[in-house]
A and B are shown apart, each in its own frame.
Chain A
Amino acid sequence: GAGVSQSPRYKVAKRGQDVALRCDPISGHVSLFWYQQALGQGPEFLTYFQNEAQLDKSGLPSDRFFAERPEGSVSTLKIQRTQQEDSAVYLCASSLGKLQYQETQYFGPGTRLLVL
């Protein structure tokens, strides 16, 4: 595909339910990021992968959040036992290289998660 895709686009979950959010980065992109964005706010960093290696997971809010990128391409963000405060848009971004400071991040459209 031409850009970063994410699925599902919308997810409604009952409190306590587990969810899995998928990100398909641009083919060949080394770096992959997950962000959490509240309405009208800037994205907040969750985690960063360089190929299959998760180099930074300092932004994950709790141990209920888990991300993987086993083959260095598709990534999944899993949230266990969802809580209402997990409701947000989850954005995935990829970039070609190893996060050089001038690189462009290409964002997907996001998954809007609503926990009831």
Chain B
Amino acid sequence: TQLLEQSPQFLSIQEGENLTVYCNSSSVFSSLQWYRQEPGEGPVLLVTVVTGGEVKKLKRLTFQFGDARKDSSLHITAAQPGDTGLYLCAGRGYQKVTFGTGTKLQVIP
């Protein structure tokens, strides 16, 4: 069974702080996706990273795929209350999607 462990599980920070969320696995994935989910809604895709070592930026969010394509990180600069939500990584293989354990982020104004 492929497992994706996320850390930390919970994070409560003040507005304006920086944070990093980690997604780790012992398995290699073809790609790694990050989603954000708000209460009562389904996850929404933020980014897909494909190449080992790849870095993608989406405004204040920076995503990195590990060189061995087994791990990934999400860094948020100057967090805003609108960043609050459940962050999920998802590893993609052939006809298979494995979601991580989730990181619940709360940004306090």
A contacts, CB < 8 Å to B = 4, 33, 35, 40-45, 48, 55-56, 91, 93, 98-99, 101-102, 104-105, 107-110
- Annotate B67-109 by CB proximity to A: 1 below 8 A, 0 otherwise: 0000000000000000000101010111111111110100000
Which residues does chain A contribute within 8 Å of B100, judged by CB atoms?
42
State the Cβ distance, B51 to closest chain A Cβ, in Å.
11
Name the one of A42, A56, A108 contacting B88, with C-beta atoms under 8 angstroms: A42
For the complex, give the distance between the alpha carbons of A104 and B42 in Å.
13
The answer to whether A48 touches B99, judged by C-beta atoms less than 8 angstroms apart, is no
> With A40-B104, A101-B30, A102-B31 as given contacts, are A109 and B41 in contact (CB-CB < 8 Å)?
yes
Cβ-defined partner of A107 (8 Å) among B44, B48, B86? B44
**Residue among A42, A44, A104 with the highest chain B CB neighbour number at 10 A:** A42
The interface size of chain B toward A, counting residues with CB under 8 Å, comes to 27
B99 close to A101 (CB less than 8 A): no
Q: Are B42 and A110 in contact (CB under 8 A)?
A: yes
Q: Interface SS of chain B: helix, strand, loop or mixed?
A: strand
B: residues with CB less than 8 A from A are 4, 6, 30-31, 40-45, 48, 50, 86, 88, 90, 92-102, 104
Pick the residue among A4, A43, A56 that contacts B99 (CB under 8 A): A43
Which 9 interchain pairs have the tightest Cβ spacing?
A107-B42, A42-B99, A101-B30, A101-B92, A42-B102, A101-B31, A99-B95, A43-B99, A104-B45
